[in-house]
Amino acid sequence: MTNATKKTKRRHDDPDAVLGVTRTRAAQRLGARLRRPLFAWWDVHARALPWRDARTSPWGVLVCEIMSQQTQMSRVVPYWNAWMERWPDAAALADAPRADVLAAWGRLGYPRRALRLQECARVVAAECRDELPRDYDALVALPGVGDYTASAVLSFAYGERIAVIDTNIRRVLSRAFLGEESLGGATGAVERALANAVLPRDAAASATWNQAVMELGALVCTAKQPACADCPLRGGCLFLAAGLPHLGERRTRPRQRFAGTDRQVRGIIMQALRDLPEDAHGVLRHEDASRLWKDTAQLDRCIASLDDDGLVEIVSGHDVRLPA
DNA sequence: CTCCGGTGTG
DNA sequence: CACACAGGAG
């Protein structure tokens, strides 16, 4: 899916139109006031993650962001280091066998991300002269790149002034500036407008702001147990002032259990394929696959869905292997 | 809104 | 055991 209609362009970004002039100005004033303590905190507490090295290419930043989708940074670090050494740019990744790409993805989870990353690499290599676009619409049109990832690349790799909105930033901004929890679900117009209202006007400062707010959400302003005593925003945080109302509340109803789901079964199959012995020549025979899961109907359904997703290939009718 | 992995943490 | 985690696509 590469057509431009799959993702909507950013709209409703004008804070005045969504929040009203008064609330917008109040948020801007508070944001300006909190910037200094936040940046001071960032200077001291920012984690020394490898992709924060100034020499990291925009492609390297993109790889990091894709790997980090729904995955903790600490788990990403070793994968990113090995990945960038093996495939330093889009052109290198584009030429790799899909089976190698999926195997290298290892236990990061959501292996479709690996597939999309390679599709993305092929587009960038073939259509963009191996150079990642510096344009929101072009980025968001790439496979596996949504609003968050496009914004993160523009802000962190290119230094453009754009509001980055992820789960951490939503939580921190909603708490500090609105005094309430960010409820689950899609990002609302209010949250988007708020992010734009408090984003520093200066481009360089805006990139630091995005990173610092995100880092604060990861290390201090966490979902369940925020360390308000250690927070650089405590002097102005509306959520703290209100007594942390409804701390940890979510609108989304509890997720389906993992045990017994297709996700677990698919994961087991992918793991078996990654860990196949050498003498298997990359092929998992159906007889061996059926020992991975008791419910044969579910197993076969999952193999079929993995095949549909391009994550496996079915050979000789019912054996399975990673795609070439 | 649902599906899509795997792991650290309380 | 429950739950959150630098989301994206159908």
* pLDDT, average across residues A227-250: 95
The nt closest to A120 (CA vs C1′) is: C8
Distance CA A95, CA A118 (A): 9
Residue A7 predicted with pLDDT over 80:
no
The protein footprint on chain B, as nucleotides within 7 A of a CB, is: 1-8, 10
Q: pLDDT tens digit string along A242-251?
A: 999 999 887 6
Whether A180 is a known active-site residue: answer: no
pLDDT class of A117 with cuts at 50, 70, 90: very high
Spatial neighbors of A33 by CB under 8 A, at least 6 apart, are: A236
CA of A310 to C1' of B5 (A): 16
Q: What are phi and psi of A252, to 5 degrees?
A: -65, 135
Concatenate the DSSP letters of all residues of A198-265 into one string.
Answer: HS-SSHHHHHHHHHHHHHHHHHTS-SS---GGG-TTTTT-HHHHTT-TTTT--SSPPPPPSTTSHHHH
Report the alpha-carbon distance of residue A213 to residue A217 in Å, rounded.
Answer: 6
CA of A216 to C1' of B9 (A): 18
Nucleotide nearest A252 (Cα, C1'): B1
The ranges assigned to domains in chain A are 1-254, 262-321
Provide the pLDDT for residue A249: 85
Give pLDDT, residue A116. 98
Our measurement of CA A308 to C1' C5, in angstroms, reads 27
A269: the nucleotide nearest its CA (via C1') is B5
* pLDDT score at A183: 86
What is the spatial distance, in angstroms and rounded to an integer, between the CA atom of A169 and the C1' atom of B1?
22
Q: Give the pLDDT mean for A93-97.
A: 98
Look at residue A3 and tell me whether its pLDDT is greater than 50. no
Average pLDDT for A283-302: 96
User: What percentage of residues in chain A have a pLDDT greater than 90?
Assistant: 87
Q: Which residues touch strand B (CB under 7 A)?
A: A 70-72, 74-75, 107-112, 185-186, 225, 252-253, 256, 258, 261-264, 266-268, 270-271, 305
Domain A1-254 has CATH 1.10.1060.10: no
The pLDDT of residue A260: 87
Q: Which chain C positions come under 7 Å from a protein C-beta?
A: 2-10
pLDDT reported for residue A4: 43
Average pLDDT over residues A103-115: 97
CA A126 to chain centre: 25
Nearest nucleic acid nucleotide to A108, CA to C1' distance: B6
Read off the pLDDT band of A10 (50, 70, 90): low
Active-site residue, selected from the candidate residues A65, A119, A181, A191: A65
> Separation of CA A235 and C1' C10 in angstroms?
44
Mean pLDDT (whole number) for A151-158: 98
Average pLDDT taken over every residue of chain A: 93
